[in-house]
Structures are given as structure tokens and as C-alpha cells.
Structure 1
Amino acid sequence: MYTSPLQFCTRPCDDLQWADPASLNLLKVILSNTGGAHLLLIDAARDQEVDEGYPLSFALSDIRSAGATVSELPLATRST
């Protein structure tokens, strides 16, 4: 994949709180081995459904440990 600081790859993901272990492992591999590629993954997960013992929490911890930057932006709950 050809990327540069001004030309990067963006991939949105939604509902990662329900991702299966194989999908989370794929994300870990991709985000831990970018090879200098400029990759932006925008993921959405319902934090009220994810606690410290949830597979997504472990995956994010592994991704951080591999040196990838993981930023979280909590959003307010929507009222109807």
C-alpha cells in the first residue's frame, strides 16, 4: 500500500465491541506492523458494553504495547 504523510489510508470500523477474536487479531496485526504506512483507523464501540475483561480491551492494550498510537474520544450518550 502506497501512503505518505499527505496521502494516507483511512478505514472506518463500527461496533467493535461485538468483533470476534479473529477480527480483533487481524486489527492487531495490521496496526502493529504498518511498516511506516500512514494508516488511520476510526473505530466506534459502545464503551458501556466494554469493560476491562472484554476482548476489545485486551486487543487495544496489545496494540498500544506494540507502539501504535491509540486515542480515545468519548462521546456523550444520545438522548431520544
Structure 2
Amino acid sequence: MNLLTHHSPTSYDTWKQDFDASTEMRMNAGLTLLQLWRDAEGTGVTALFEINDRKKAQDWLDREDQTNGPVNGRFMKTA
């Protein structure tokens, strides 16, 4: 299963520093970063993660939205 997230930071550089610093937290939540895209225009960021525990991933998503939000996430599986 995968998780696709979209982040809307006010500053990409600040967000990226925080994102890189929280790698271990994401790993503990069972998320593996597969791809990271930055909007060609603006500061939006989209990330694709592989997840191994949906509940842990949902808990991470909820915390991320409250502390570093806004973040939108969609759980997806291969069709």
C-alpha cells in the first residue's frame, strides 16, 4: 500500500529542512519515501511513500497535519 501526500508549506527550504530532520520519525511510522516532487511554480510538495502499517501511517499523517500542516494524504493501492 502507498500513501500520497501533498504539503503546502509557506517556505520550501524551511519545510525541507524539517522533512529531512524527521526521517527517523517516518521510518518508525513504517513509511518509506519513494519519490518527492516539488511544484514547478510555488512551494507545494508531493510525496509518495510505501507503507507497511496503515494505522501507524495514519497516526503519522494526523500528527503531521497538526504540527507541520496543512498536509493532505490519500492511501492508495496498485490497481
Give the strand-richer structure, 1 or 2: 2
Q: Which has the larger radius of gyration?
A: 1
| TM-score > 0.5 by shorter chain | no
Larger RCO of the pair (alpha carbons < 8 Å, separation 6+): 2
Smaller-chain TM-score bracket: 0.3 to 0.5
TM-score by length of 2: 0.34
Instruction: Please report the TM-score for the alignment, with normalisation by the length of structure 1.
Output: 0.34
